[in-house]
Homo-oligomer: A and B are copies of this chain.
Amino acid sequence: MKLNGKQESVDAYVLRAKVANSQCRRATTGTERPKDSKIRENVKFVFDFEEGDGKNKQLLGGKGCGLVEMTQIGLPIPFGCIITTEACRQYYSKNKTLPDGLMPEVTEHIKCLESKTKKGFGNAETPLLVSVRSGAALSMPGMMDTILNLGLNDSVVEGLGNVTKNRRFAYDAYRRFLQLFGKIAMGLDEAYFDKILETAKKQLGVELDTAIGTDELIKICNEFKEVIKKETGQEFPQDPWKQLQLAIEAVFRSWKGKRAIDYRREFKITPKMADGTAVSIVAMVFGNMGNDSATGVGFTRDPGTGENTLFGEYLTNAQGEDVVAGIRTPEPIAHLKKEMPKQYEAIEAIRQVLEQHFHEVQDFEFTIEREKLYLLQTRNAKMNATALIKTSFEMVSEKLLTKEKALLRINPDLLEQIFHHRIDPSVYAEPIAEGIPASPGAAHGKVVFDADEAERRGRLGEAVILVREETKPEDIQGFFQAKGILTSRGGKTSHAAVVARGMGKPCIVGCRDLQIQTNSKSAFFKGQKIVAGDVITIDGATGLIYLGIIPTVEPHFGPELSSILRWSDEIRTLGVRANADTPEDAMRAKKMGAEGIGLCRTERMFNSTDRLPIVREMILAKSAAVRQEALDKLLPMQKNDFKIILKIMAGFPVTIRLIDPPLHEFLPSIESLLTEIERLKDVQLGLKQMEMISESVKISLEPSLQKFIPNVQKVICELSEIKKDDPLDELIRKKEELLQKVRETTEVNPMLGHRGVRLGIKYPEIYQMQIRACLEASAELLNEGVDTQPEIIIPQVVTSQELKRVRRWLEEIKKEVEIKHGIQLHIQFGTMIETVRACMRAGRLAKVTDFFSFGTNDLTQATFSFSREDAENKFLPLYNELKILIDNPFEVLDIKGVGRLMKITIDWGKKGNSKLKLGICGEHAGNPRSVEFFQALGLTYVSCSPYRVPIVRLAAAQAKLRELMLNTDELNNPDYPFNIFS
């Protein structure tokens, strides 16, 4: 390793340290080691930085390992040692008492530290102060306790003043120590200390701590000791050894403090990932010993942009906590170059060393004590998506990372950040309400409460946000034209959420703060009234809603990302397709790198305004002949849809799913019809009364009765579409007929109702029309020289009998189309696996199909007997909160239930048909954690929303890499960045 000149001084430092250490070893060889317990015999609890194993985070903690590693590669680290997590575990298993051998071993190491630093612990002449810090295998920032300046007492503080020739500094350190120790080791509420400090400052008339003089600090220290005694009933221990023991116990205790436990639960940190905390004891260095001292934090690269430059901040004459506290504004690290050029160069050199050693961007802390540079900590830096992608790409070029490691360090979910507009992070705005973030991206527009109006205004080029209680399939045209969707009901998998994600539009759902007054075309957000036309901004990534226009920033696609995705494609073995229902979706899917369409929902094609009336005709048909007439009109439309999509996806498979939802989804709701009928009857009544009153008026009427007239007129005005001469009776009769039909088709549990293939069996002509449309489209394209690969898939199947019947239709129609076009068609035939019975009959279903596609949305509902919408609105949040279920099973595949069922299905299915292709097209396909499971299951492909295709390409590559590593230890290392446990 060839470094620049500055490194020399680093090397010199290391040499010095090594000599000191070997001297120390020699010095302690002769000391007596107590042999007092069985545990003691086998276990070593304390390691010097020079001797520890810097890879063993489980034993030494993440922070400890960083110190050990840095010491051992020769970076300037203060001397110190680490108490292992094993000691912490024994502390808890021994009912919160320190293991017998621990303190003697600590004493031994402190002696060694004294020898290396040539200082004395509790010695006023050459005072050795130490920090006592927690550090678990996984970083839990701020969750556990740290004590600085330990070793000070009434006599040592004076010695420190002498040695440093700075009495104020010494007492300032003492009062900081007293406060930390009193709070952490002795359990006294911090408020007692704050109050004393505030009172003193008030009396002195100063605002900053730094303005307090030495004498006042001495007084404050005394008051601190008094309050400790008064409130805890115990004297502040003047014995540094006693201090040390209490501090170690306090750090151990903080492992099971409420904050730490909550944090571990929140971030799903299991004992396997981190079990107990280590304790580092480090000789104190001071950045606040004058203007030749400083403290700061640095990043080896810019964590916001990924640029390969030193990034960080520092404060002169300050301690680490001052940087964090925000009382003084830190300087950018570039300024250090002028202030302390030598030290700056050392840091620049260290930046290289750190990256060369850790092969990861580092976030480190440093202190300069009287011109001498020390590193106090290093860890992997947290970065945003842009920085992660840029550094991944560049560190491969720099040979710091292999492509594989570069891919593994990017959390695929973060990619979502860069595919959508975001609220400009530099702008602060007060949200007016909050909902469930359902589809990321930010958008602003005029509030519109009606899908039709959203469509109309949208077409006119207005930016609109569609605001609804909930949405229905018939609102789809409004979706297309809206910039964003906001609903007051529903969860992350409600109709609005699913459709919006599919379209990549911002969406917020289940906004309980929102109350819509449908009739009056207005809404209340926590009491604030919004009327149609008011402008709001929604942020689908956070669920926040703002009044007015909040600036947003554009999504950014760079060449680095393209490279990352190309590497992913080289590595992954799992196919990635997209769910796409429209030509727009298909274009997007192709752009995002999808290798085909895994799910094309044909019913969505029925929802456009020009088709819905024909679809209704079909549903309401009183005879098969009338139904066929409507279907004949739909056939060319659907054929054309298929042609366009198949053409876009030329060379790739397109899985066309025959109609799935129950027919009543295409009809108006009972409530809307009832309202409509009521209105019409009101008009009728109004008109009749008006006539009667008009009669009376002729004969001169009591004026008060004339009130009726404007009332009635008002009713008629409101319903201006209806003219007085309209045959109202006829209109009402028709609506009532429709209502009757809607009532007939209405179901108690539509999710489990007359849908999917059950509909196809009942009305064969519908499925036959769709099959014909697909085959005709394919045949015409083939004759135009376009390579089409249509696949037909059947929803909601429970028995092979259903499949056999539809397959027979398919084969009959195929023959007809082949003859008509003089061509051979190759159609794959598959079944959705979305009912549990399909899982149980997988062997049979496999015999009559070419492929399965798991519909994990419905399968999850059926497995749990949870209706998605009801569950997410009613009890799932509580279940997650109580940890009855760890995840929302509609977002993260439930491996132990649904996954188990999938495994059984695949095993049986493969027995029935060894060539069976296996896909999944539920929303879980877009979830990286679930993708890893799908890789393990041996699926052929996953099919997700077009917007998630890049995410899944990366996730699939990671899944493959992890699979390859399964036999190595790396996967089991909980500290591995972005591993499946994190």
Q: B-contacting residues of A (Cβ < 8 Å)?
A: 670-671, 674, 678, 692-693, 695-696, 699, 701-702, 704-705, 707, 747-754, 758, 761-762, 796, 798-799, 801-802, 805, 834-837, 840-841, 858, 861-867, 869-871, 874-875, 878-879, 882-885, 894, 896-898, 900-901, 904
Contacts and interface: CB of A to CB of B under 8 A. Distances in A.
Given A753-B870, A754-B874, A801-B882, 17 more contacts: A692-B707, A693-B705, A695-B704, A699-B702, A749-B750, A752-B866, A753-B874, A758-B874, A758-B875, A802-B884, A805-B882, A834-B865, A836-B864, A837-B863, A840-B863, A840-B896, A862-B865
A858 B862 contact: no
Query: Number of copies of this chain in the oligomer?
Result: 2
A892 B861 CA distance: 24
Contact of A798 (B671, B835, B840, B897): B897
Contacts of A896: 840-841
A901 B836 contact: yes
B748 A897 contact: no
Given A761-B875, A884-B799, A867 B752 contact: yes
B747 A879 contact: no
B705 A696 contact: yes
Given A761-B882, A870-B754, A885-B801, A865 B836 contact: yes
Contacts of A693: 705
A696 to B, nearest CB: 5
A836 B858 contact: no
Given A692-B704, A702-B696, A840-B897, A752 B883 contact: no
Given A841-B896, A884-B805, A750 B748 contact: yes
Contacts of A840: 863, 896-898, 900-901
Contacts of A805: 882, 884
Contacts of A674: 674
Residue with the greatest number of chain B CB neighbours at <10 A, chosen from A678, A751, A870, A900: A870
A712 to B, nearest CB: 12
A758 B864 CA distance: 11
A454 to B, nearest CB: 23
B748 A869 contact: yes
B695 A875 contact: no
A904 B883 CA distance: 27
Given A752-B861, A752-B865, A885 B747 contact: no
Contacts of A705: 692-693, 696, 705
Given A702-B699, A758-B875, A837-B897, A748 B870 contact: yes
Contacts of A864: 752, 798, 835-837
A925 to B, nearest CB: 20
A80 B401 CA distance: 95
B749 A796 contact: no
A379 B186 CA distance: 98
A863 B836 contact: yes
Closest 8 CB pairs of A and B: A749-B867, A752-B867, A837-B897, A754-B874, A835-B865, A753-B870, A801-B884, A749-B751
Contacts of A799: 884-885
Nearest to A746: B870
Contacts of A704: 692, 695-696
Contacts of A696: 702, 704-705
